[in-house]
Amino acid sequence: MTNSDPREPDAPLQVYLVRHGQTEWSLSGQHTGRTDIALTPQGEDEARALQPSFRGLTFSHVLTSPRQRARQTAALVGLGAQAAVEPDLAEWDYGDYDGLRSVEIRAMRPGWNIVRDGCPNGESPAQITARADRLAAKLSALSGPVAVFTHGHFGRCLAARWIGLDLTAVQNLLLGTACYGVLGYDPGHPENRVIARWNIAVA
């Protein structure tokens, strides 16, 4: 990590937050936390399609979730050789709900809401908030651009916490497979964290 101020004019911090490409479970709507599954062929194509979005950028750091779907995405984008595994980028641990769809969970537990209730034998909202805050502090010490490869739920949690919102805000943030957002600081008010771009899909 560098000790340079991320808000210096010559090295503004820009965190390119990338969700991995399609998997069989993202397609079916199954919650995929600890289960380590690969991208589908469609997901591989989605990841490759991101390459032009990052062409011409020299990333100071590239970080990826330890799950293979995120690592594959980083590699197919062309950043695999530079990528370092960051455990805090892993998806929400769904515990007993791993592999289930929301409709199946609510059939057993009416009214269940992950950002309020968490997951039995998995992570609670308080634990996810702490993890996202810890990672945001690490990222804020870097200068950019920085690329991070993560997952649907945790990526939205990180974005919400980046700008100081409660986890309930993730219900209003969509992040599709192989889509990305850019987190940073307001140039006119460099003390303020912002979501500069969000849910960018490659046409």
Give the pLDDT of residue 40. Answer: 97
3-class secondary-structure state, position 27: helix
* Residue pLDDT, tens place only, 91-149: 999 999 999 999 999 999 999 999 999 999 999 999 999 999 999 999 999 988 999 99
State the total domains in the chain.
Answer: 1
Which residues carry a binding-site annotation for substrate? 32-33, 69, 91-94
Give the pLDDT of residue 141. Answer: 92
Structural domain boundaries, residue 128: 15-200
My answer on whether omega of the bond before 145 falls inside 30° of 0, hence cis, is yes
Q: Note whether residue 165 is domain-resident.
A: yes
Q: Note whether residue 30 is domain-resident.
A: yes
* Residue pLDDT, tens place only, 10-43: 578 999 999 999 999 999 989 999 999 999 999 9
Residue 103 and residue 65: Cα distance in Å, rounded? 27
The sign one gets for the Cα dihedral 125, 138, 198, 66 is: negative
Q: Note whether residue 4 is domain-resident.
A: no
Q: Note whether residue 150 is domain-resident.
A: yes
pTM for the whole structure: 0.91
Residue with tokens 């397609």: 27
Structure tokens at 134: 């810890």
DSSP conformational letter for 113: -
**Domain harbouring 78, CATH code:** 3.40.50.1240
Residue 7 pLDDT > 60: no
**Under 8 Å between Cβ of 149 and 73:** yes
Residue among 163, 150, 152 at smallest CA distance from 192: 163
Q: What average pLDDT does the segment 158-169 reach? A: 95
Residues with a known catalytic role? 20, 91
